A and B are shown apart, each in its own frame.
Chain A
Amino acid sequence: MGRKTPLHGQHVALGAGMVDFGGWDMPVNYGSQIEEHHRVRRAAGIFDVSHMCVIDVRGLDSRGFLRRLLANDVDKLQLPGKALYSCMLNADGGVLDDLIVYFMNDEWFRVVVNAGTRDSDLLWIRARAREELAHLDIIERVDLAMLAVQGPEARAKVVDLLESTDREAALALQPFSGRFCGEWFVARTGYTGEDGFEIMLPYEEISAAWLALVAAGVAPCGLGARDTLRLEAGMNLYGNDMDESKHPLESGLAWTVAFEPASRDFIGREALERVRAAGGATQKLVGLVLEDRGVLRSHQKVLIEGVGEGEITSGTFSPTLECSIALARVPRATGASVQVDIRGKLLPARVVKPPFVRNGRALISLSKNSI
Chain B
Amino acid sequence: MSHVPVDRRYAKSHEWARLLPDGRVEIGITDHAQHALGDLVFVEVPEPGRVLGAGEACAVVESVKAASDVYSPIAGTVLESNADLGSSPELINQDCYDKGWMTRLQPASPAALNALLGPEAYAAQLAAEGG
Chain A residues packing against B (C-beta within 8 Å):
17, 28-29, 32-35, 224, 228, 293-295, 297, 316-317, 319, 324, 343
Contacts and interface: CB of A to CB of B under 8 A. Distances in A.
A59 B42 CA distance: 54
Interface residues of B, number: 13
Nearest to B39: A34
Contacts of A32: 38-39
A247 B113 CA distance: 56
B86 A224 contact: no
Contact of A224 (B42, B64, B67): B64
Nearest to B43: A293
Contacts of A297: 66-67
A293 B86 CA distance: 9
B41 interface: yes
B80 interface: no
Given A293-B86, A295-B67, A33 B62 contact: no
Given A33-B39, A224-B38, A295-B41, A317 B64 contact: yes
Max count, chain B CB within 10 A of own CB: residue among A32, A34, A224, A228:
A34
Given A34-B41, A224-B65, A294-B62, 20 more contacts: A17-B38, A28-B65, A29-B38, A32-B38, A32-B39, A33-B38, A33-B64, A34-B39, A293-B42, A293-B86, A295-B41, A295-B42, A295-B62, A295-B67, A297-B67, A317-B41, A317-B42, A317-B62, A317-B64, A343-B67
A315 B63 CA distance: 12
A324 B67 CA distance: 13
Contacts of B42: 293-295, 317, 324
B60 interface: yes
7 contacts: A32-B38, A224-B38, A293-B86, A294-B62, A295-B41, A295-B67, A316-B64
A160 to B, nearest CB: 31
A319 B67 contact: no
A343 B39 contact: no
A102 B86 CA distance: 47
A343 B86 CA distance: 18
Contacts of B38: 17, 29, 32-33, 224
Contacts of B67: 295, 297, 343
Max count, chain B CB within 10 A of own CB: residue among A29, A294, A295:
A295
B65 A33 contact: yes
Nearest to A36: B39
Contacts of B86: 293
Interface string B42-72: 1010000000000000001011111100000
A34 B41 CA distance: 10
Max count, chain A CB within 10 A of own CB: residue among B38, B39, B63, B64:
B64
B25 to A, nearest CB: 25
B45 to A, nearest CB: 12
